[in-house]
Amino acid sequence: MDTVSAARTPAGFYYAANNFRAAEHGGTHLDAPIHFAEGRKTVDQLPLEQLIAPAVIIDVSEKAQADRDYQIGVDDFAAWEIRYGPIPDKTIVLLRTGYGKFWPDRLKYLGTDKHGAEAVAELHFPGLHPEAARWLVANRNLNAIGLDTPSIDYGQSKLFESHQILFDKNIPAFENVANLDQLPTKGAFVFALPMKIKGGSGGPLRIVALIPSVNQ
Ligand SMILES: [Zn+2]
Say what the pLDDT of residue 169 is: 98
Cα(93) to ligand 1 centroid in Å equals 17
Cα(124) to ligand 1 centroid in Å equals 16
Within 8 A by CB and 6+ apart from 146, the residues are 92, 93, 94, 95, 173, 174, 175, 177, 192, 207
Cα(83) to ligand 1 centroid in Å equals 31
Rounded Cα gap, residues 50 and 72, in angstroms: 23
* pTM reported for the whole predicted model: 0.95
Cα(60) to ligand 1 centroid in Å equals 21
Cα(203) to ligand 1 centroid in Å equals 8
Say what the pLDDT of residue 212 is: 84
Say what the pLDDT of residue 83 is: 98
Alpha helices in 29-142 (DSSP H): 48-51, 61-66, 74-84, 106-110, 116-119, 130-139
Rounded Cα gap, residues 71 and 154, in angstroms: 7
Say what the pLDDT of residue 214 is: 62
pLDDT-flagged residues of the chain (< 70):
214-216
Cα(14) to ligand 1 centroid in Å equals 37
Q: Is the peptide bond before 104 cis (omega within 30 degrees of 0)?
A: yes
Residue 97 CA to its chain's centroid (Å): 12
DSSP 104: T
